Structure 1
Amino acid sequence: MATLVRYELVRLLRDKTLLMWALVLPLSLTVIFMAMFSHLDDSFAPTPMTLGVVEDTALTEAPGVSQVVETVSTGADRLIDPVPAADAEQALAAARAGDTLGYLDVTDGRLVLHLTDEGNATTTAPVLRAALDVWAQTGAQIDSLTAAVAAGEVSPDALAALPASGRGPDVTREMALTPVASSSGTGYYLSLLAFTSAMGMMFALVAVQECLAASGPTGARRTLAALPRRTVLAGVLLASWVAMTVCLLVALAVMVLVADVEMGPHGWLSVVAVVVSSLMSCAGGALLGTWPSLKPAIVSAVASFLSLFTGLYGPGAKNLADSLEETVPWLARANPLWHSSRAFYSLLYFGSLEPFVLACAAMTAFAVVFFVLALLRLRRTA
């Protein structure tokens, strides 16, 4: 059996077509994903806007306005790069000339934001509006409570619960929903790992078909050989498993070391997910290989179709996969690649290892079923 495993392993790793599907394709897609997602998160971050600031008496006399303008225009997280203007006409002229994206001025004691169409389309505009709205609401609360305190309607201690004018309340706080922060494109890399593992079906498919008498003289000699069918099947499956695991580990290493894909605090368990995913796919390929006329291209099409329900093909596919999981969960779990991607997802998005263990157990069960069915069919196939 050792000779059989060694022969099949060398032969599979020399097959350029198989290596193209199992190694070259996922590495190429990884490079494409790197180019697509390299600045994806940065595109949602607010960047400072060039805005005019009308520095007249109304600005200096309005309480707290100067502090607000200073707050949003200083520091690394500033929202505006201020351009001083003597009056509203000068600030408006600069905006129309394209030198600024709008301007800030004080009208009737209120800080008013004026934006051009270009400025209104920036990601910073809604953040700046929210900051100014919070300041305005806080100032209105302070004014209302101050009047109520003066009239003796409320206790003076009520003012102590409000922030000073010019600084909004802490209405939001950052919290971690996952064990570690991840990029918006990480999910696509994890789905790609599941898709790559499915390519292992092609290794086992070719190896098992060559053990059939219908494949040619070599297959006929193997059929008549003294080795039991279960030994032949186990040998070619083991060789396919090793070959696919090597290819998948290379793809995983490139994703982690080159593409900086985060795998979570238990990232080393991703190797276990690779091994189990490869075993399941190779067992499935061994079952499909018992049909002599089945072409590798059909296996590739099946893997591509199943990957549709792991979110590999973009937001639309991801929404479809999520909808299927919510409405028909048993159907989603009937997809072997769902469990493969789930194993990688669970390491990153869950604090507990229970989902990871369940996913690996499900893939192992799939592998056993596929192997038993392949053995039964191989015993009846000439």
Structure 2
Amino acid sequence: MAFSFSFAGDDIEQELDNEIEQVVSPEIAQVFPTENANGNRQENALGNAAMAVPLEPNLLNLEELYQSLPDRILYSVLELRTAAGRTIKLPRRELFDVRVQLIAEDSHGQGADLTGLGNDDIKKNVYEGGYKSWECSEDLAKILRDEYEGEEGGVGTEELHCIELGCGTALPSLALFQMALSKSRANTRFTLADYNAEVLRLVTIPNLLLSWAVVTERLDASKPEDELDISPEMITAFFDDLKEKDISIRTISGSWGNEFLNLVSPEGNLGRVLVLASETIYSPESLVPFTKVLLDILSQSQRPRAYVAAKRMYFGVGGGVEEFKNVLAKMGGSAQEVELDVAGRGVARAVLDVSKS
């Protein structure tokens, strides 16, 4: 059943988890092992179900994704202002344009799959909200721009592997991508992961091309909206530029889990890693798989860093910042809140600097 996030209503009463003496929702509590009357630890069936993998992870072919683009895409420019006064201009493909492409590809007249392009934000195990841009991803993009722009250890100063989980429109990664493109040699790897392969094909990949077009002045970011003509020559120039600047991009679709982790880190050894995630902790059912993958990636990194951006509470859904902190602590991690100036601006939000204890 599909639903939209509703930010009004009564909070659901939660139960006390005695093991960590913090509030954890019943859905989360059932994921962890418990003790029976004899004091023996036992796994809960619901916990095992929550860890199931409904969609097998898959490493997508980047060149094939770009070859599937139409010869013209429509976009609008999102302009952000950072705390340090920097301006970020992120062009994003219009959802209307995505609908047009899907309908045009429906050559057999069976009806294009427009899931996620209507009023529904989420459709469990079908669509996880990737077509739309969310406020939390904007918060994270601004933080990254200030932290990694021109400073010691910033983009281009040493090798960096950026991994965005549940990337969708990939605004945080786009902010880093634009910085990497501005360097003569960026030495930067991007792994962009989303539950839906179609989200990666139809918005993530086009948005990367649009950001490249901004940096290379093939696109006028001063216009709030426009269209970009795409040719085989442009795609070739895009890949040539990535190679010259030592930038690599990988895209992974599917669910979080061990198979997903094997695709992210096939050798089980990562160097300097920055893990990003926005709006990924709204569902109690996915909190444990997400947290496990996040901590596993950090464990395999020699120099790990992770940011998780989220609303403080997802009314009617069950997840939120405090739930995530509790699960994180129980699984061996910790989180510190990054200073964020969003007071009085819509729903309360936070950005967490996550580490493995």
1 or 2, which has the higher strand percentage? 2
TM > 0.5 between the two? no
1 or 2, which has the higher helix percentage? 1
Which structure: larger Rg? 1
TM-score by length of 1: 0.23
